[in-house]
Amino acid sequence: MNYLLSRIPSPLKNKYLLTTVVFVIWMVFFDDRDIITTHFRYKKELSNLEKSKEYFEGRIAETRIELDKLQSDPILLEKYAREKYRMKRDNEDLYIIRELAPQ
């Protein structure tokens, strides 16, 4: 038995080193918050957020164009208010016709 123990290199006998190595291996490969899985998860989330950012930047640009048109054209503003917010003049009646869902 002493012969086997004498053949083990001295750094491998250090319990602190062994504990650290086992801990690092556990954290890198086996834990559910391991480095590899977490990296890919965050990369995928970043990709989704970038796509979402592009979509919303496009929507903001469209909305700004629509706002500029509404601020410059009073006829278009009235049309927008009538269609979007169902506004009407005092001497008008408003009839809302809804389409039935196909069966």
Average pLDDT, integer, range 81-88: 82
What's the confidence (pLDDT) of residue 67? Answer: 92
Q: Where are the domains of the chain?
A: 13-85
pLDDT over 90 (residue 86): no
More confident residue, 30 or 64: 64
- Total-model pTM: 0.54
Amino acid identity of residue 65, one-letter, is I
What's the confidence (pLDDT) of residue 57? Answer: 98
* Structural tokens at position 23: 């801990």
What's the confidence (pLDDT) of residue 63? Answer: 94
What's the confidence (pLDDT) of residue 50? Answer: 98
Give the dihedral of Cα atoms 29, 34, 36, 39; nearest 10 deg.
180
Average pLDDT, integer, range 42-69: 96
Average pLDDT, integer, range 49-59: 98
pLDDT over 80 (residue 59): yes
More confident residue, 59 or 30: 59
Residue 80, exposed/middle/buried by CB under 10 A (0-12, 13-18, 19+)? middle
Closest CA to 67 of 83, 59, 56, 54: 59
